[in-house]
Amino acid sequence: MTKVLFVCLGNICRSPMAEAVFRHQVKEAGLDSQIEIDSAGTGDWHVGERPHKGTLAKMEEHGISTEGMYARQITPRDGKHYDYIVAMDDSNMNNMLCVFGDTKATVLRMLDVIDDELTEVPDPYYTGDFEQTYDLVRRASIALLEKIKREQAIV
Binds ligand 4NP by CB under 6 A, chosen from 6, 125, 130, 134: 125
Stretch that binds ligand 4NP, among 12-20, 31-39, 103-111, 138-146 (CB under 6 A): 12-20
Pick from 28, 44, 45, 118 the residue near ligand 4NP by CB under 6 A: 45
Handedness of CA 61, 66, 72, 76 (dihedral sign): negative
Opening angle at CA 77, ends 76 and 83, nearest 5: 110
Q: Is 11 in the site for ligand 4NP (CB under 6 A)?
A: yes
Give the whole-angstrom CA distance, residue 47 versus residue 10: 8
Letters for 13-42 (x = contact with ligand 4NP by CB under 6 A, - = none) are xx--------------------------x-
Between residues 45 and 118, which has the closer beta carbon with respect to ligand 4NP? 45
What's the sign of the alpha-carbon dihedral 126, 142, 90, 50?
positive
Let me know if 139 is a catalytic residue.
no
**Widest CA span of the chain, in angstroms?**
39
Q: How far is CA 143 from CA 71, 78, 139, in A?
A: 25, 23, 7
- Chain residues binding ligand 4NP by CB under 6 A are 8-14, 41, 45-46, 123, 125
Active site residues: 8, 14, 123
